[in-house]
């Protein structure tokens, strides 16, 4: 269990990005989209059926909206 797969660094980077206004090069929406897509893939493999992914976007006022893809 001592193998470094980068999970700690990814979480530290994500938390730093959430807590600050520093441009990390990746938006929080991209992190969320990647996670939601991964969960949908896992569910699809488990069930053998299509799983829709609902992803966040921002409207013109900067508010997060959810859209089904």
Q: How does pLDDT run across 19-59, given as a tens digit for each residue?
A: 776 666 777 778 888 898 999 999 999 999 999 888 777 78
pLDDT of the residue at 48: 96
State the Cα angle at 52 between 15 and 19, rounded to 5°: 10
Name residue, tokens 């441009």.
23
Q: Which two tokens stand for residue 68?
A: 């089904």
Residue 44: the pLDDT is 95
Return the closest-CA partner of residue 31 out of 50, 49, 55.
55
Bridge-based pairing of strands 64-68 and 54-58 is antiparallel
pLDDT reported for residue 27: 75
């Amino acid at each position: 269990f001592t193998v470094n797969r980068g999970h700690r660094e990814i979480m530290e980077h994500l938390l730093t990005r959430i807590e600050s206004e520093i441009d990390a090069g990746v938006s929080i929406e991209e992190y969320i989209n990647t996670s939601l897509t991964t969960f949908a893939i896992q569910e699809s493999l488990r069930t053998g059926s299509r799983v829709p992914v609902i992803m966040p976007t921002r409207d013109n006022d900067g508010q997060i909206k959810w859209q089904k893809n």
